Structure 1
Amino acid sequence: MGPRDLRRSLLTTCACVALSMPAAAQDATDEEADAPTVLSPIEVTAQFRSEDPLDVPISMDVVDRFEIEDRGQKDLSDTLNAVPNVVLQESNGQVGFSTITMRGIGNQGGDMAGGDQAIGMYVDGVYIGAQVGMNPPLYDVERIEVLRGPQGTLYGRNAMGGAVNIITAEPEPELYLSGEAMYGSFDLYNLAAVANGAIGTFGDTTVSARLSANQAGRGATVDNSIGDDLGDYSTTSGRAQVRAAGSLYDVVLRADYTDQDATAYAYDDFDDAGDRDAAIAEPFEYELQNYGLSLNGEVYIGDLTLQSISAWRSTHTFADGNDWNASDSVYQSADWDQNQLSQEFRLTSPDDVRLRWVAGVFIFHNEEEERNVFSHRPGSSPLWGMFANGESEISNSETTTNSQAVFGDATYGVTDWLDVTVGLRVTHDTKETHYTHVSQMGMAPTQTLDYEFEALDFSPKFTVMVKPNDATRVYATISRGYKSGGYNRLFAPSPKLEFESEHVWNYELGAKLRLFDDRMELNGALFYTDWYDQQVTAWRGMYNEIANVPHSESYGAEVDVAARVTDTVTLGGAFGWTEATFLDFPNPSATIASGDGFRQPNAPRFTYALSAQYLGPLDDIVPIGSDVDLLMRADYTYRSSTYYDITNQLEEPGYGLLNLRAGVLGDGWRVEGFIKNATDEEYRVQATEYNGMDLAVAGDPRTFGLRVKVDL
C-alpha cells in the first residue's frame, strides 16, 4: 500500500464527532474493497496502559493526528473549543495566559498571579506546571485525549476538573519525510516539516530519530488609529527525539522549544469590540519562551512494566504596554520565569489478568520569579492629575513549590461482566514565597513578607463497570479532586497573602455503546460535582485578588455519537449541558453582598458540535478518469450565552462557528482550501472590568486559506 492509499485508508478513520470518536476506516486496496463498513478502534493511554476507549470508564474525547489535520487545528484552542463542556479562553491573545474550563471547573474570573491551573496538562506524560503557554501549537501530534472530571488519583494535585494529554508522534525506524505550507487572509501562514528514520541497529536495539519544526504567524486583525495595528503573532517551534527500542526496554529522549511574540489582545469598549477598531497609544507586546528536556523509559520486567519519566521545563514571559486607551501616561509590565523538575515512576501489571493495577511515585519541584509594574510613564502627561514623575507600584515575588505523591489504581474483574476499580493518591505539598511591594502611588501597601505552608491530601476513586456484552459498557464513579493553595503575588492589598486549596467530590454515571455492527458509537455521561473552597479571581479596580468561595456546584451531561453512514461518508454530533453555579458566595464585589446563584464564568449552559465528512474517489463525483480522492468537510460548534466575570455583569450571547474545508488527495500529497468562521460571526472571547470601564476582545473574523502538504 502506497502513501496515498495509506492516507486514504486512515483519513476515513476520523470520526466526525467533536474530536472525540474513533472513526470509520476505508481501505483502498482491491483485496479489502469488500470489507465491512465499520468504525475502527483506536487505542488510548488515559489509564497509563493501552486500551480501547470502550473499556475506559471516563467521559473522554479523543482526536487523532488525521482528524487534527482534516479539521485544520493549529493550536490547542482549536481542539478544546470544539469539545462539549470544555472551553479554552485565551486571556492575553494568541500567546500568553490561557484558562481551560471543563464542566464549569477552571480558574474563575481571570488569570491567577500565584494560582495553579484547575485542569492538568500533560505532554508525553510530562506535567506542564506553567500557567502560561497552555495553548501550545499543534504539529506532529499523534493524538489528544481530553478527560473530563477529576483525575486526581492517577494525574495528581491540579487535575481537579480534568486532564488534557497531548501525545506527540514518536520516532520510528521507517524513513518518513513531510512538509506543508499554508497561507490565508490577514497574512495567516503555517510552515511545518518532519524528518524521521532509523539511525542504526545495535544488537536487538533499534535507534531512531525524529525532527519536527513549525513556523506560524498572522498579521494584524484590529485597526489601531493612533499606533501599531493589533492581533499579529509569530510562533517558532521545534522538537527533536531519539528513541532506542529493544526487547527489554523502550526509551525516548526529547527536547522541545517554542518562541512566540505577539501584540496582546486589543481591549475595546464591551459593546463595540466587534468593530475591530481601537485607539491604544502603547499596545501590549507579549513574548513567551517555553522549552524542556525529558527522558521517558520503559523497562519490561517479566510480565511487569516499569516506567520512568524524568523532565525539566522552563518558561519565560514578558509583556509591557499601557492600559488600552489613547493616553500614554500609564506603563505596565509583567515579567515571569518558571523552572520545574519532575520525576515519576510507575509499575504496571500485565493487561490480560483479572487484577490489573498501576502504582507509582511522583516528585515535583517548581520555582517561579515574578515582577509586576504599574507606573506613570516618564515624559508623558500627568496620570490622574496626580502623578507626573515616574511614580510606580512594583511587586516582586519568589515562590518555591515541592510536591510528593504516591498513588495506586487497581481494577479487579469480579466476573466476566463486572469490573471494580479502587484508586488512591496521597499528596504532600509545601509552598513558600518571598514577596515585596514598593508603593509610590498608594495602590497597595509597601511591605516585605515571607510565607510557608504545607498540605496533605487524599484523592480516592471508586468505579464499578458493568459489561453486559462486547459492545456495551455502563459505569459509575465517585472521585475526589484537589487543587493546591497558593499566594496572592500581585499588588497584595494586605499582609494576608495565602488562599486555601480547593476540593471537589464528583459523582458520575456513564455508558458507552457500539451499535449496528460497529457502524455507530454512542457515549453519554451524567455528573454532579460538589465544590468546596473554590478559588476565584476578584477584580479590585486595579489588580486581581484570589479568594476562596465556600461552596459551589456543577451538574449536567454529555453525549456524543459517530456514524459511518457509507464507505465515504461519516457524520457525528455531540452535546454538552452544564449547570455550574456559586452556592455560598459572600461579597463577590464591593457593591454586591451575595453571589449565591451566580453562574460560573466561562461555563456556557449548552454546547454542541455537528460535523460531516466525505472522503472518496473524485471520479464518483466528477467522472474525469483521475486516480485522486476528494475530501469535503464541515464542522459547526455552538455555545449558549456565558459570563466572563464572577459577578455575571459581562455576558456574551450564544453564538455558533462554521468551518469548511475541501481538497484533493493524491499519492503522498494533498491540496485543500478552507474557510474558518464562514459566516463571519461577531463574538467576544474575553472581557473584563478595568478601572470603571467594561472592555472586551473580539473573536477571529472570517479567514480564507490554502494548504499544501507532501509526504515522502
Structure 2
Amino acid sequence: MNVHVPQSGKRLLLSPISMAILALVAGTNVVHAEEAQVATAAAAPAAEQAAPAEAGKITEVFVTATKRTTSLQKTPVAVTALNSAALDDNHVQTIQDVVNLVPGFSATGQGDHGVITMTLRGIGNDSAKTEYADPEVASFVDGIYSPRPEGATALLFDLEAIEVLRGPQGTLWGRNSTVGAVNMQTVKPEIGSNAGNFEVGYGNYTRIGARGAFNIPLSNTMAMRVSVVHEQHDGYVDYQAPVIPSLAAQQAAAAPGIADWNAKHPNNPVTFKPINENSYIRNGQKYNAQDQSAVRLSFLWQPSADLKWNISYEHYVDRGTPNMNLLQQQRPGQEFWSALIDTAPNVNRDSNSVRSRVDYQINNDVALAYIAGYSRFNGSSTFDQDGGANPATSFTTVGAPGNAGYQANNTVWSKYKNYSHELEIMSTGKRDVDWLLGLYYANEDNGIRFDIPIMNGTEIGTVSWQGSFIQPKETVDSKAAFGQATWNVNDQWHLTGGFRYTSDKRENIGGTGNGWSNYDVPQVPVSPSMNPLVPGGNNGFTTYSFNSGSYSDSKLTGLARVTYDIDKNNMVFASVSTGYKSGGLQDGGRPYGSETLTNYEIGSKSTFLGGKVRMNNSAYYSKFKGFQFSAPITNPDGTRGLATNNAEGATVWGLETEIAAKITPEDRVQLTAAYTNAKLKHLIGGSNDYNLPACPIVGISTCLDVTGNTMPHSPKFSAQLQYQHSFALADGTLIPRISTHYETASWLSVFNLGEPDRQKAYNRTDLGLRYDANSKWYFDAFVRNVEDGKIKTSAMNANGPWQAQYLPPRTFGINVGRSF
C-alpha cells in the first residue's frame, strides 16, 4: 500500500502522529500491489490469497460480500471490488475518490459538518449526519459498522481492498444499508514477515503526503503491523478583500434601520458604527484545506491453525478546514475560487477506534466468528455559512434587503461513542447446504452543541436570529438476529434464502432548541461562553423546543435468490431483497417513521477469451416506502430546527455494467457504466437552504411540492473508462494510464430548481505515469481533473445569490515510494 504525505502549508508534520510517520518513513516503504495481485478482503477464516494470475489473464478477485471469502465471479451479488493496486493507481484517499470507480455511486461533502454523505443507485440523504439521521449507504471497516465517517472511513490508508455492495444488504450486513454498503478491509499482520513500505509525495497547493506500514513478527504465533499516514494541502479558496463603502454611504444605508430598531427597542437603542475591516479574514488557513493524520496498530495472535485473533487500534486527527460555499457567478474582478469571509475556518476532530475479530474453526464443518468494535469521537468546527454572498453596506445592512449578512455555523462540541458485538456461526467446506446464523447488538451515545448566529449586516450588527441546539444525550440501541442459507441443488442450481429481524430503540434525553428572543440586551453573536439554558442577565435566549422522547421500531427483512451456473465461466442470478432504516426523533421530540425498500434484481457474471475479459451486469427495480427527507427549516413562529418527513416513497430502476479486459499482456481497459431513473413519489418538502414559496400547509413556513421530481445526485447515465499500458524497460516497468469519467446532468436537491440547482453534463479526466524499478522503488506522477472543471456537489440560494460546493480544481503531484 502507498504512503502519501500531505501538508497544510506552514505546519509541516508537527503532530505526534506526524513525527511517528517520519520515524517510520526512515525505515519503511510502500508496497505497490501489482496488477496481478489479489484483492482478498480477508475477513472469513477461509480467506486466502489467490495464486498469481497468468500473463494475459485478469486476476481473480475475492470478496466477502456474503460474509464468506468467495471469488468475485462466483458471488451472485452486485459488488465492485477495488484492490490495493486499483486504489493506488487512482490515488484514492477519501470515499469521494472511490465514486468514479463504482457504477451508480456518488458522494458529497457537507461544509458545516465536514461529513461526506453517499448516494448509491440514486438514493441518499444529504442531511445524514449521525446526530440528525442515518445514511442509506452504510460504512463498515473490517466488517464493523462505522456511524461516523472518520478514521479509515475518512482517510483511506493501508487498505487491502474496498468492496461496494449495491442494493439492500438488510440480511447479512444490516445497519442502515438500505441501498448498499461499503466495506473497507485493512491490511492485517502476517506471522514471520518483516515486510514494510513507505511513500512520500508533493503536489500543488503545497500538498505533502507520507504513508508507511511495517510488519513486525513477535513470535511464531504473533505479529503486529504499524501503519501511519499524514495528508495535507493548502486550501483552494482565497480570501477576498472587502470593498468598504465610504463613511457617508454607510451612514445613509444604516440610518433607516437604526431608526426602525430604536423605535421598536427604546430600552436598547443602537448607534452608528463604521464597518470594521478587521472583521474580514484575510490570512491564515484557508477553506478547503486538508490536514489529517492517522496511525493504526494491528495485532494478530494465531496459537493454532483453528484459532485466530485480529485486533487493531486506530487514532485519527483532523485539523483541516471545512469546504466553502462559493458563488456560482463570482462578483466582477474576483477569482472563482475565492470568497468574502468573516468567519475563520476551523476543524478540530479526534477519533479512537478498536476493532476486533476472533475466528475459530470448531471442526471441519462449522466455524465461529466474533466481531466487536468500539469508537469514540470528539470534535468542534467553525464555518462561514453565508460565504460572503451579501456584502455589507453598513454595519447592520447589506445590499440585498431582507437578507442577513453574517451567518456562522459553529459546532461548539460534539461527541459520539459507539460499540457493537456480532456473533456468527457458519458452515465450512463444500456441502449441499451452506448456512450462516448471527446475533448483533450495537449502541450509540451521541451529543452535540450547534450554534447558528445570524446578524444583520456584519458581526457587529443587530441580531437577525440566532439559535443554539443542545443535544446532551441521544442514544441508539439496535439488536438483530439473522441467518442465510444456500441450497446447492446441483453443480448448476443454487437457491438462497435469508432473514434479519431488527429491533431499534432511540432516545433523546434533555435535548433543547434555544432561540434569541430578548432584543433588549446587548446584540452579540452567540459564543461558547454563553449558556443558552440560563435565562436573565445579558442572555437573550429562550428555550422553545424540548426534544426529549423515545422511539422504538422493528422490522423483518429478507432475501430470496436463485443462481444458475451456465458453465465455469458464466452465471446468472435473480433476487428479491428488502432493506430497512429505523425511524427516529426530530426537534420537539416528534417522531418520524421508518424507511423500507423492496428490490428486484437480475444479474450476470461472465469471463471470456480464456480469462482475458470479465463482464458483470445487473438490472434492478426498487420501490421505497417512507423515504426519509431531512432538512433545516424555519417554523411559522420564526424558530428553526431540523425536520425529517417521510415521503410516500420513491421508485428507482436502472442498469449497471462493469467490463475489464486485457487486450494484450501489456494493455488493460476497464469500463463501468450505469443508467439510473430515480423518481420521488408524494412529498411536500421544505428547507432553509433554498428560497421557496409560502407553504399552504399549517406548521410549515415555506415549501414546495416535489412529487415526481428526480432524486438528487442521480445522473441518467454515467461511465468511467480507464486504460493503461506497460512498457518493459531494462531496469523496470513504465506504466502510463488515463481515466476519464462522463455523466449526464444531475439535480443537486429534490427541489429541481433550474440550472443553478443542478450539475450540467461533464467529462473529467485523470492522468498518471508510474515507473516501477526492479529494485522495488517507484515513482508516480499524476494530474487529476485535467480539464480543471467546476463540478458542483451541492447548491443553495438561501442568501439570495446561488452558491455551491465543488469538487477540487486541477491538482497534480508526484509520489516516490519503496517496499522491502
Give the alignment partner of residue 125 of structure 1, picking from 128, 143, 154. Answer: 143
Shift of 1:557: 0.7
Give the alignment partner of residue 299 of structure 1, picking from 352, 360, 384. Answer: 360
Residue 592 and residue 53 in structure 1: after superposition, are their counterparts in 2 closer, same or farther (change >3 A)?
Answer: same
Structure 1 equivalent of residue 76 of structure 2: 57
Give the alignment partner of residue 154 of structure 2, picking from 117, 120, 136. Answer: 136
Q: Name the SS of the counterpart of 1:604 in structure 2.
A: coil
Residue 112 and residue 539 in structure 1: after superposition, are their counterparts in 2 closer, same or farther (change >3 A)?
Answer: farther
Residue 679 and residue 249 in structure 1: after superposition, are their counterparts in 2 closer, same or farther (change >3 A)?
Answer: same
AA matched with 1:106:
G
Q: Name the SS of the counterpart of 1:79 in structure 2.
A: helix
Does residue 417 of the first structure (1) align with residue 492 of the second (2)?
A: yes
Does residue 636 of the first structure (1) align with residue 757 of the second (2)?
A: no
Does residue 66 of the first structure (1) align with residue 85 of the second (2)?
A: yes
Shift of 1:13: 5.2
Residue 380 and residue 107 in structure 1: after superposition, are their counterparts in 2 closer, same or farther (change >3 A)?
Answer: closer
Deviations 1:594-646 (CA, angstroms, capped at 9, x unpaired) = 2121011121211100001112412xxxxxxx221111111111222111111
Structure 2 equivalent of residue 242 of structure 1: 299
User: Structure 2: how far apart are the matches of 1:633 and 1:687?
Assistant: 33
Q: Name the SS of the counterpart of 1:292 in structure 2.
A: strand
Task: Indicate if the aligned counterparts of 1:268 and 1:696 stay in contact, CA closer than 8 A.
Answer: yes
Deviations 1:239-265 (CA, angstroms, capped at 9, x unpaired) = 001101221201011000111122211
Structure 2 equivalent of residue 479 of structure 1: 577
Structure 2 equivalent of residue 215 of structure 1: 230
Structure 2 equivalent of residue 400 of structure 1: 475
Does residue 347 of the first structure (1) align with residue 425 of the second (2)?
A: yes
Give the alignment partner of residue 514 of structure 2, picking from 426, 434, 438. Answer: 438
Give the alignment partner of residue 560 of structure 1, picking from 639, 653, 658. Answer: 658
Shift of 1:76: 2.1
User: Structure 1: how far apart are the matches of 2:464 and 2:114?
Assistant: 32
Shift of 1:680: 1.4
Shift of 1:133: 6.5
Q: Per chain length, whose mean CA-contact separation is higher, i.e. which structure has more relative contact order (CA < 8 Å, sep 6+)?
A: 1
User: How is 1:125-524 mapped onto 2 (pairs within 5 angstroms)?
Assistant: 125-130=143-148, 135-173=153-191, 174-201=193-220, 206-225=221-240, 226-227=280-281, 228=283, 229-245=286-302, 246-272=304-330, 275-303=336-364, 304-323=366-385, 324-325=387-388, 329-334=406-411, 335-375=413-453, 383=461, 392-434=467-509, 435-441=511-517, 446-488=544-586, 492=587, 495=588, 497-524=590-617
AA matched with 1:554:
V
AA matched with 1:293:
V
Q: Name the SS of the counterpart of 2:134 in structure 1.
A: coil
Residue 107 and residue 378 in structure 1: after superposition, are their counterparts in 2 closer, same or farther (change >3 A)?
Answer: closer
Task: Indicate if the aligned counterparts of 2:749 and 2:794 stay in contact, CA closer than 8 A.
Answer: no
User: Structure 1: how far apart are the matches of 2:207 and 2:177?
Assistant: 34
Task: Indicate if the aligned counterparts of 1:77 and 1:135 stay in contact, CA closer than 8 A.
Answer: no
Deviations 1:387-419 (CA, angstroms, capped at 9, x unpaired) = 7xxx64443342111111000000011121100
Shift of 1:81: 3.4
Structure 1 equivalent of residue 707 of structure 2: 596
Give the alignment partner of residue 695 of structure 1, picking from 788, 803, 807. Answer: 803
Deviations 1:298-336 (CA, angstroms, capped at 9, x unpaired) = 011002110001211112221124432256854431232
Shift of 1:66: 1.1
User: Structure 1: how far apart are the matches of 2:661 and 2:172?
Assistant: 32
Q: Name the SS of the counterpart of 1:11 in structure 2.
A: coil
Task: Indicate if the aligned counterparts of 2:353 and 2:375 stay in contact, CA closer than 8 A.
Answer: yes
Does residue 87 of the first structure (1) align with residue 102 of the second (2)?
A: no
Task: Indicate if the aligned counterparts of 1:270 and 1:696 stay in contact, CA closer than 8 A.
Answer: yes
Give TM-score scaled by structure 2 length.
0.78
Task: Indicate if the aligned counterparts of 1:224 and 1:277 stay in contact, CA closer than 8 A.
Answer: yes
Residue 314 and residue 386 in structure 1: after superposition, are their counterparts in 2 closer, same or farther (change >3 A)?
Answer: closer
User: How is 1:574-585 mapped onto 2 (pairs within 5 angstroms)?
Assistant: 574-585=672-683
Give the alignment partner of residue 536 of structure 1, picking from 629, 632, 635. Answer: 629
AA matched with 1:270:
Q
What residue ranges of structure 1 are gaps of 5+ in the alignment? Answer: 1-5, 16-23, 28-34, 619-625
Task: Indicate if the aligned counterparts of 2:679 and 2:709 stay in contact, CA closer than 8 A.
Answer: yes
Task: Indicate if the aligned counterparts of 1:319 and 1:333 stay in contact, CA closer than 8 A.
Answer: yes
User: Structure 2: how far apart are the matches of 1:151 and 1:475?
Assistant: 16
Structure 2 equivalent of residue 40 of structure 1: 59
Q: Name the SS of the counterpart of 2:329 in structure 1.
A: helix
Shift of 1:694: 2.6
Task: Indicate if the aligned counterparts of 1:239 and 1:255 stay in contact, CA closer than 8 A.
Answer: yes
Q: Name the SS of the counterpart of 2:211 in structure 1.
A: strand
Deviations 1:564-616 (CA, angstroms, capped at 9, x unpaired) = 11111111111101111102223556365521210111212111000011124
Runs of 4 or more above 6 Å deviation: 6-9, 24-27, 377-380, 442-445
User: Structure 2: how far apart are the matches of 1:193 and 1:83?
Assistant: 27
User: Structure 1: how far apart are the matches of 2:542 and 2:630?
Assistant: 17
Shift of 1:672: 1.7
User: Structure 1: how far apart are the matches of 2:52 and 2:433?
Assistant: 37
Give TM-score scaled by structure 1 length.
0.89
Deviations 1:96-140 (CA, angstroms, capped at 9, x unpaired) = 211111101211567574211111111011110226679521211
User: Structure 1: how far apart are the matches of 2:330 and 2:52?
Assistant: 48
Which stretch of the first structure deviates more once superposed, 422-431 or 530-539?
A: 530-539
Structure 2 equivalent of residue 570 of structure 1: 668
Task: Indicate if the aligned counterparts of 1:485 and 1:502 stay in contact, CA closer than 8 A.
Answer: yes
Task: Indicate if the aligned counterparts of 2:151 and 2:314 stay in contact, CA closer than 8 A.
Answer: no
Shift of 1:179: 0.9
Deviations 1:668-698 (CA, angstroms, capped at 9, x unpaired) = 1101211111121222222223344432123
Shift of 1:439: 1.9
Residue 146 and residue 383 in structure 1: after superposition, are their counterparts in 2 closer, same or farther (change >3 A)?
Answer: same
Task: Indicate if the aligned counterparts of 2:151 and 2:294 stay in contact, CA closer than 8 A.
Answer: no
What residue ranges of structure 2 are gaps of 5+ in the alignment? Answer: 1-29, 40-49, 241-279, 393-404, 519-540, 635-639, 687-691, 696-701
Q: Name the SS of the counterpart of 1:558 in structure 2.
A: strand
User: Structure 2: how far apart are the matches of 1:318 and 1:55?
Assistant: 46
Q: Name the SS of the counterpart of 1:400 in structure 2.
A: strand
- The structure carrying a bigger strand percent of its residues is 1
Task: Indicate if the aligned counterparts of 1:267 and 1:697 stay in contact, CA closer than 8 A.
Answer: yes
Which stretch of the first structure deviates more once superposed, 304-313 or 103-112?
A: 103-112
User: Structure 1: how far apart are the matches of 2:438 and 2:51?
Assistant: 37
For this pair of structures, how many residues does the alignment match?
Answer: 673
Shift of 1:381: 5.0
The structure with the larger Rg is 2
Structure 2 equivalent of residue 11 of structure 1: 35
AA matched with 1:237:
A
User: Structure 2: how far apart are the matches of 1:599 and 1:468?
Assistant: 38
User: How is 1:618-697 mapped onto 2 (pairs within 5 angstroms)?
Assistant: 618=729, 626-649=730-753, 650-666=757-773, 667-697=775-805
AA matched with 2:544:
T
Shift of 1:196: 0.3
Among the aligned pairs, what percent are the same residue?
22
CA RMSD of aligned residues (A): 2.6
Residue 433 and residue 519 in structure 1: after superposition, are their counterparts in 2 closer, same or farther (change >3 A)?
Answer: same
AA matched with 1:636:
T
Structure 2 equivalent of residue 21 of structure 1: none
